Amino acid sequence: MGYDRAVYDAANEILAARRLHAEQEAERRRADLYRVQPRAQEIDRKLSRAGTAAARAVLHGGDVRQNLEQLRRRSHALREELRALLAQQNMTEADLEPHYHCPLCQDRGNIDGRMCRCMKSLLKEEALRRLNADTPLKLCSFESFDVSYYPETPQINGSSPQQMMERIFLYCRKYAETFNAHTTESLLMTGKTGLGKTHLSLAIAGRVTERGFGVVYGSAENLLKKLQDEHFGRSRGDTMNSLLNCDLLILDDLGTEFRSSFTVAAIYNIINSRQLTEKPVIISTNLSLKELTEYYTERFSSRVIGSYTCIPFVGNDVRQMKHR
């Protein structure tokens, strides 16, 4: 999945903390046992030396089988004695071992080179947490989208704004439910401010992230400012890598950013690079198709208009209606 490097780092930090806590708790339980049962510590030391003794028995020759059998019987007797001491404290041998949060990978995040399901879950949770921190994600779900705010008249090509927005809502929900990082189309959401472009793009972001994909969501203004600051050394980061490699990139409010030769080139590079690697993008903008061409050159508009699915939002300013 194309998560931001910071998401991976955060998930690894959580796993490391879990692992450390489990091992420290095991050491604490062992120390408590030794304090009330000193003999248990002595037995542990003898058992730890048993492996070395077995290796020596093999290296020194002689009757190796007999020597190993004696060591096995001795170790067995020591373990039985240790179990009895543990039982006196209402403990078992399992209490002396770390109780990892994930017993499958022991909080390492991978099993034989494959990502463990606990790591996948952590990545999804961390990505959602970051998305929630930066955007009003909980306020912008599919469940909270209300088409009744859109007028039932006038008719536009045989449909009312409400009917058109109902179809757009269903399309966006299906887009999120069937999203695939390599085969899903890119979207261009156009229309005046307050018509629900941000709401539905955030709803898509939340659902796609819940399904385990890496989503980068942000206003064009904020993301381009980050790129510019990193490019000119005013801050450190790897924003461009995240924008190019995430499973889904959502650029909200394209056209509100301060335009310069740098930002125009950066936007073109992002759109062109993701198109070449077949990674989907969702762009929302208040600009018309003609204004997109005027603002970002024909090279940019030909990429977007020629290959993106255009979704025109219609109706009245829903935000103003809700405020009233």
Per-position pLDDT tens, the chain of length 324: 567 788 889 999 999 999 999 999 999 999 999 999 999 999 988 888 876 655 565 555 555 576 677 778 888 898 899 999 999 999 999 999 999 999 999 999 999 999 999 998 898 888 767 766 666 556 678 998 999 989 888 877 788 999 999 999 999 999 999 999 888 999 999 999 889 999 999 999 989 988 888 888 888 998 899 888 888 888 776 788 888 888 999 999 998 888 888 988 999 999 999 999 999 999 999 998 888 888 888 888 888 888 999 999 998 877 666 666
What is the tally of structural domains in the chain?
A: 2
Same domain, 188 and 316: yes
Domain span at residue 251?
135-323
CB neighbour class for 4 (10 Å; exposed up to 12, middle 13-18, buried from 19)? buried
How far is it, in rounded angstroms, from Cα 272 to Cα 277?
9
Comparing CA positions, the residue from 171, 147, 172 lying closest to residue 160 is 147
Same domain, 98 and 141: no
Same domain, 179 and 267: yes
HSE of 177 in the Cβ direction (CA atoms, 13 Å)?
8
Same domain, 173 and 41: no
pTM for the full predicted model: 0.70
Name, in order, each residue with C-beta under 8 angstroms of 186's C-beta and a sequence gap of 6 or more: 274, 275, 280, 281, 282, 283, 304, 307, 308, 309
Establish if 319 belongs to a structural domain: yes
CATH of the domain at 180: 3.40.50.300
How far is it, in rounded angstroms, from Cα 215 to Cα 205?
6
